[in-house]
Structure 1
Amino acid sequence: MDDAAVLKRRGYIMGINLGEGSYAKVKSAYSERLKFNVAVKIIDRKKAPTDFLEKFLPREIEILAMLNHRSIVKTYEIFETSDGKVYIVMELGVQGDLLEFIKTRGALQEDDARKKFHQLSSAIKYCHDLDVVHRDLKCENLLLDKDFNIKLSDFGFSKRCLRDDSGRLTLSKTFCGSAAYAAPEVLQGIPYQPKVYDIWSLGVILYIMVCGSMPYDDSNIKKMLRIQKEHRVNFPRSKHLTGECKDLIYRMLQPDVNRRLHIDEILSHCWVQPKARGLSSGAINKEGESSRATEPSWNPEPTGADKKSATKLEPREEAQPETKPQEDTVQVARQSETLGLSSELNRETEEGYAQQPSETHT
């Protein structure tokens, strides 16, 4: 029985193709029960690699079934047919994804970025409180509903964190995601704290929201890693970003995992909290935001004119190569060519933290 017939029997009228990979595709469909359009992810077990079937797919299904948050794509139904196909019926992002939105409209104004970023951060806090990590946060995985609200999607790399006997979270050893959004510890291939990895990706996403460009050029991973480890972040002067916004991004893109912000600190940051937006970037509350004694110096950082990419990282267990479940939907290896986002900023139009501000972290 073909997909259209299977869906028809379940009360769905299949629509257009939204994306397709080597063993999975996403279709739009109209739900006769719900009376609106949905997205249906169809996975063919016969074509999928073993590690995907044994590890990634069970994790994704388990996590999708347990999540219920207004800023996370809803999962309405999961079923499997006798011929080995898995159907995941989900909320449809009717306005596309955040990447398409920024490519079409340019960088967001800070008020709009604040609203969307708060929605995303709230979803991540919800996940982290459940010890669920996403590990593939990027603009393409942030769908927009009819009112342009953020809906976090694609939990193909997600997992539930494990704890040791003392209750501490264990490190992850599967290295996954897209290089342009990946934290330095992941790029270096060392075991990492998955929740802290998510925070770095949030910093990249907020940068893209307000700058309309990528913060780092991943066409040269070695060079990108060096810049990240030096804690260098450059901002286009033309965007006239507030100090609070730049401060938040800078603290999320902290290469030292022990000093990188936690999700509660992000949500309590003065840029995110409306009641605290009158504070200067040096005025820090005690609930979770780090303090600093001096303002950073702002010096232009010369860069080239190469376009930014976002190379997809293949997950691997320690030194053992591991095949990532190939794209469940259409994903690309070189992100800048599809992103259409300017990645490098000219010397005349950028400013950056040239030195790290002193800060404390509890």
Structure 2
Amino acid sequence: MDEDVVLRRRGYIMGVSLGEGSYAKVKSAYSERLKINVAIKIIDRKKVPNDFLEKFLPQELRILTILNHGSVIKTYEIFETIQGKIYIVMELGAQGDLLEFIKTRGALQEDDARKKFHQLSSAIKYCHDLDIVHRDLKCENLLLDKDFNIKLSDFGFSKCCSRDNNGRVTLSKTFCGSAAYAAPEVLQGIPYQPKVYDIWSLGVILYIMVCGSMPYDDSNIKRMLRFQKEHRVNFPHCKHLTRECKDLIYRILQPDVDQRLHIDQILRHCWLQPKMQDLSSAATSEGECSQRAEPSWMPKPGYDKKSTTKLEPQKETPPKEQSETNLEEHTMQVAKQLDVLGISTQ
């Protein structure tokens, strides 16, 4: 049965296409019951890989029924037809996604970035407190409502964390998401802490918010990994960012997973405290801020200032179970996956 007919019978008037991902397409519609415009994600069981169908899709549907947070896209209804198409009716991001917003308007002023990043961090804390990890945080998955507030979306690669007998979250071996937002331990194929992976992606997003470009050039995965592992973070001088903002980004983009900030530490950081907005950037006594004598984000000798790159939509890498392997072998595997998607790694 035609999708328009299916939706019309359920009280939805189909609108324009909003986009298409690896395994789904999204269309706008008007809900006669809710009296609002909505977004409808349509997944055809016949057109998705078995591993996604058996593992990722059930996780996504389960998680969508759990989530209820002001900065997470609401799910109004989920239904499936006998033809095997799944329809997920969701809140509409009326102002589009954050990537297009920044590409159109440029980098955000720190006050605006602070507000939006606090909304995003609050959403991630909510998820992590429920032992839910996103694993595909990127600007394209951050929608903006009519008032330009952040709405976290697309839980296609999310999962509910399991715990061992000691109550610790078990490590994950699945590489998924977008390489430009992926933490170095994930790109290396090392079993990783999924919540800590989300944190790294938050750092990339905050950098993009205030700088208007990517922190690392992912056209060469091997070189990008080297810069990440050496903890190189280059900030454009023309942006005139405050010390506190740079400090937060630097401490989130920490290659050592044991030193990378946790979500509670991010929310307590001095840059995110409202009372810091009107204070001098030299005042760092409130909240959690680094007390290093010298700016720890300064480029190291020989640093390539072209390591950053312009903003482009990031294609999802098909999820794949990874066993622990050496860096050279794994970067070749990642490169092959990205080549399939048409993303150059040279």
Give the TM-score normalised by the residue count of structure 1. Answer: 0.84
Per-residue Cα deviation, 1:142-162 (whole angstroms, up to 9, x for no partner): 000000000000000000011
1:160 to 2:160 alignment? yes
Between the aligned partners of 2:44 and 2:113, the Cα distance in structure 1 is: 37
1:2 to 2:2 alignment? yes
Per-residue Cα deviation, 1:109-138 (whole angstroms, up to 9, x for no partner): 000000000000000000000000000000
1:313 to 2:300 alignment? no
- For this pair of structures, how many residues does the alignment match? 326
Instruction: State the Cα distance separating 1:23 from its structure 2 match.
Output: 4.9
Instruction: State the Cα distance separating 1:24 from its structure 2 match.
Output: 2.4
Instruction: State the Cα distance separating 1:15 from its structure 2 match.
Output: 1.0
Aligned residue in 2 for 1:146: 146
**Is this contact kept in 2: 1:97–1:139, CA < 8 A?**
yes
Aligned residue in 1 for 2:230: 230
**Is this contact kept in 2: 1:76–1:89, CA < 8 A?**
yes
Q: SS in structure 1 opposite 2:40? A: strand
Structure 2 counterpart of 1:7, one-letter code: L
Instruction: State the Cα distance separating 1:183 from its structure 2 match.
Output: 0.5
Aligned residue in 2 for 1:292: 291
Farther off after superposition, 204-213 or 9-18: 9-18
Aligned residue in 2 for 1:239: 239
Q: SS in structure 2 opposite 1:233? A: coil
Aligned residue in 1 for 2:109: 109
Aligned residue in 1 for 2:133: 133
Aligned residue in 2 for 1:340: none
Aligned residue in 1 for 2:121: 121
**Is this contact kept in 1: 2:136–2:176, CA < 8 A?**
yes
Instruction: State the Cα distance separating 1:275 from its structure 2 match.
Output: 2.5
Task: Name which structure has the greater RCO, CA cutoff 8 Å, separation 6+.
Answer: 1
Aligned residue in 1 for 2:63: 63
Structure 1 counterpart of 2:317, one-letter code: L
Q: SS in structure 1 opposite 2:95? A: coil
**Is this contact kept in 2: 1:72–1:152, CA < 8 A?**
yes
Structure with greater proportional helix content? 2
Aligned residue in 2 for 1:250: 250
Q: Which ranges of structure 2 fall in alignment gaps of 5 or more residues? A: 325-329
Per-residue Cα deviation, 1:180-237 (whole angstroms, up to 9, x for no partner): 1010000101100010000100000000000001100010111110011110100011
Question: How do 1:194-209 residues align onto structure 2 when only pairs under 5 Å count?
Answer: 194-209=194-209
Structure 1 counterpart of 2:321, one-letter code: E
Give the TM-score normalised by the residue count of structure 2. Answer: 0.88
Structure 2 counterpart of 1:255, one-letter code: P
Q: CA RMSD in A?
A: 2.5
Between the aligned partners of 1:261 and 1:290, the Cα distance in structure 2 is: 11
Instruction: State the Cα distance separating 1:307 from its structure 2 match.
Output: 4.7
Between the aligned partners of 1:48 and 1:259, the Cα distance in structure 2 is: 38
Instruction: State the Cα distance separating 1:46 from its structure 2 match.
Output: 1.4
Aligned residue in 2 for 1:303: 305
Question: How do 1:32-47 residues align onto structure 2 when only pairs under 5 Å count?
Answer: 32-47=32-47
Farther off after superposition, 111-120 or 43-52: 43-52
Q: Which ranges of structure 1 fall in alignment gaps of 5 or more residues? A: 327-331, 337-362
Between the aligned partners of 1:88 and 1:333, the Cα distance in structure 2 is: 28
With over 3 angstroms needed to count, the CA separation of the structure-2 counterparts of 1:23 and 1:233, relative to structure 1, is closer
Aligned residue in 2 for 1:344: none
Instruction: State the Cα distance separating 1:19 from its structure 2 match.
Output: 1.7
With over 3 angstroms needed to count, the CA separation of the structure-2 counterparts of 1:145 and 1:306, relative to structure 1, is closer
**Is this contact kept in 2: 1:108–1:212, CA < 8 A?**
yes
Structure 2 counterpart of 1:52, one-letter code: F
With over 3 angstroms needed to count, the CA separation of the structure-2 counterparts of 1:335 and 1:140, relative to structure 1, is farther
Question: How do 1:69-88 residues align onto structure 2 when only pairs under 5 Å count?
Answer: 69-88=69-88
